[in-house]
Structure 1
């Protein structure tokens, strides 16, 4: 009988008050296991809280625009063979001290759409076509509804990039749909000042500079050949214009197309799974620079869309400029060459190869 049992002859049951009140003594092994269990629970809760904070923070970075509500029902038909069509705008407010050094400054309310791409992703999503619309193109702006609900009457012969600053992104989408007949599925806006952080987060972007650039306005001075640009240099590169061979905005479009393709390639090459810290920095910079339509304005939706485009290779993406010629009234502006532009948009709508003639712009001396 153990030391805790009652003495012989007392006939007491082990369930005496003394037995029930006895304090249980834990072994050293039990204490260690309990500490490990509590510590594990704390780590799980902390990790879960941190993951939730990261997710919530990144999700909150993304700004959404209700394009569908603003456009209503008067839109091109969505064809079954049309794949996916995105309108990608590179906006540029040039507000702040640093931006004053990079080619002038305007207020945030005067932000401009310096780059506009209609990105067509065919069914199957293994290739893509990006059509640039020059910012100086004269277009017909349709009747539009602004973000505050007020309406703006349509107008002929307005500069394309003025639509964004004067009326807003939904009107840019409507203008593109009216001029092209292409149904825009999604809207994606990248703030040029914001992507400076993205470029730095991925460690720079490799660019093969086609001709020497010595630009007094932006301060970019590079020789022809391969270069790795950091965020500030990249911002200067996409804003360069006057130091190029012809000094026109059409030449700058070529630089911006080249840069965006290089940026996509660099992001795709990153080992995001191998470095969670780098992945977060890249995601934080990317989402902070983004404004999308409401359907894409969440990490879940963006991630799903990105996965669906995983087979698209930036190296095989075809870049085309809307075929334009100089306007006969205002030689500082360009207008679409109707027959060629019609052929280009028809190919995008019907998901067919773009005719070679639709890839040539008289404004660039291309017959």
Structure 2
């Protein structure tokens, strides 16, 4: 879920306006990650049809995992701004997606190789070139939720996590509750994580729009300032680049969600994993590579 909030910042949050002092100030506060992207050799090519598209890998992290005392990936998403700048597409993956050509899951690739490892694994899995990397921790989700005065999330079924119980139907959540809702209560709840993430992000967008933040530069800047300390992006993405990308995203206030097609569970090295449906996933990656997913979204819903 923090990954999705990274999407919120990069895709719409920074869209305050080209060259305004608010964007410049926010961009300067965003931390950078060195060597987040792999070296050029062996990376996917970009077909002519997708030359104008922008693709982010957005990873949500828990920097204070109680068991390992290490930063742990909690969500992995591919975010595409289409070349015509009319669509923002978000492909969510199960963390335990098996990447055969990498010999690990997406979660494992992050654990062993950090940002560069998970970018390489995602490119190996999809053959889609990743332009930029963004990472956000759980504090960003809690902070922006509280800055909005809470959000109303439509809970599909009863759920309990981290001492919080959520009944079905619209539920008002503060920051701590939103974090608990998107976190897995246990291994058996991982399959439903993408759906929970999507519902929280949709609630965030509804709240931001209802408060007029997309058209209120000061209000949006305040929201951004409340969470930039939890956001990191790849080092080549300079302050000016963030501003320019914000301008590119200025008209895209709606996210189009797609879940990577799952074929079924399995075991690798004694650990449970999720295998993708090779046929349907291959078709999804082909559409993304050629920037043609907008006309085929219904095939994956």
- With normalisation by structure 1, the TM-score equals 0.67
Other-structure match for 1:253: 194
8 Å CA contact 1:65, 1:291 repeated in 2: yes
**Candidates 253, 264, 275, aligned match of 1:325:** 264
Other-structure match for 2:29: 61
Q: 1:84 to 1:259 in 2, by over 3 A?
A: same
- The separation in 1 between residues aligned to 2:159 and 2:203, in whole angstroms, is 18
Q: How does 1:15-54 map to 2 (within 5 A)?
A: none
Q: 1:268 to 1:133 in 2, by over 3 A?
A: same
Q: 1:306 to 1:269 in 2, by over 3 A?
A: farther
- The separation in 2 between residues aligned to 1:359 and 1:68, in whole angstroms, is 30
Indicate yes or no: 2:245 matched with 1:305.
yes
**Candidates 290, 293, 297, aligned match of 1:350:** 290
1:97-145 CA-partner distances (Å, limit 9, x unpaired): xxxxxxx5542xx211111111122222222221111111222465xxx
Other-structure match for 2:81: 121
Indicate yes or no: 2:177 matched with 1:233.
yes
Other-structure match for 1:334: 274
- The separation in 2 between residues aligned to 1:69 and 1:192, in whole angstroms, is 23
- The separation in 2 between residues aligned to 1:139 and 1:180, in whole angstroms, is 9
* More displaced 10-residue stretch of structure 1: 76-85 or 263-272: 263-272
- The separation in 1 between residues aligned to 2:299 and 2:148, in whole angstroms, is 36
Other-structure match for 1:167: 113
Other-structure match for 1:79: 47
- The separation in 2 between residues aligned to 1:356 and 1:70, in whole angstroms, is 29
1:76-112 CA-partner distances (Å, limit 9, x unpaired): 11223222211111111235xxxxxxxx5542xx211
Q: 1:94 to 1:72 in 2, by over 3 A?
A: same
How far is 1:67 from its partner? 4.4
**Candidates 171, 194, 209, aligned match of 2:140:** 194
Q: RMSD between aligned alpha carbons?
A: 3.0
Other-structure match for 2:13: none
- The separation in 1 between residues aligned to 2:232 and 2:204, in whole angstroms, is 18
8 Å CA contact 1:91, 1:114 repeated in 2: yes
Q: 1:206 to 1:295 in 2, by over 3 A?
A: farther
- The separation in 2 between residues aligned to 1:226 and 1:60, in whole angstroms, is 37
Q: 1:70 to 1:214 in 2, by over 3 A?
A: closer
How far is 1:180 from its partner? 0.8
- The separation in 2 between residues aligned to 1:297 and 1:105, in whole angstroms, is 35
Other-structure match for 1:41: none
Q: Aligned pair count?
A: 277
Indicate yes or no: 2:131 matched with 1:185.
yes
- The separation in 2 between residues aligned to 1:356 and 1:306, in whole angstroms, is 24
How far is 1:160 from its partner? 1.7
How far is 1:164 from its partner? 1.3
Q: 1:166 to 1:55 in 2, by over 3 A?
A: same
How far is 1:57 from its partner? 6.6
When Rg is computed on C-alpha atoms for both structures, the one with the higher figure is: 1
Q: Which consecutive segments of 4 or more residues in structure 1 shift more than 6 A?
A: 54-57
1:208-251 CA-partner distances (Å, limit 9, x unpaired): 11112233xx1111211112211111110110434xxx933111
Higher relative contact order (CA 8 A, sep 6+): 2
Q: For structure 2, which runs of at least 5 residues remain unmatched after alignment? A: 1-19
8 Å CA contact 1:120, 1:128 repeated in 2: yes
Other-structure match for 1:28: none
Other-structure match for 2:60: 90
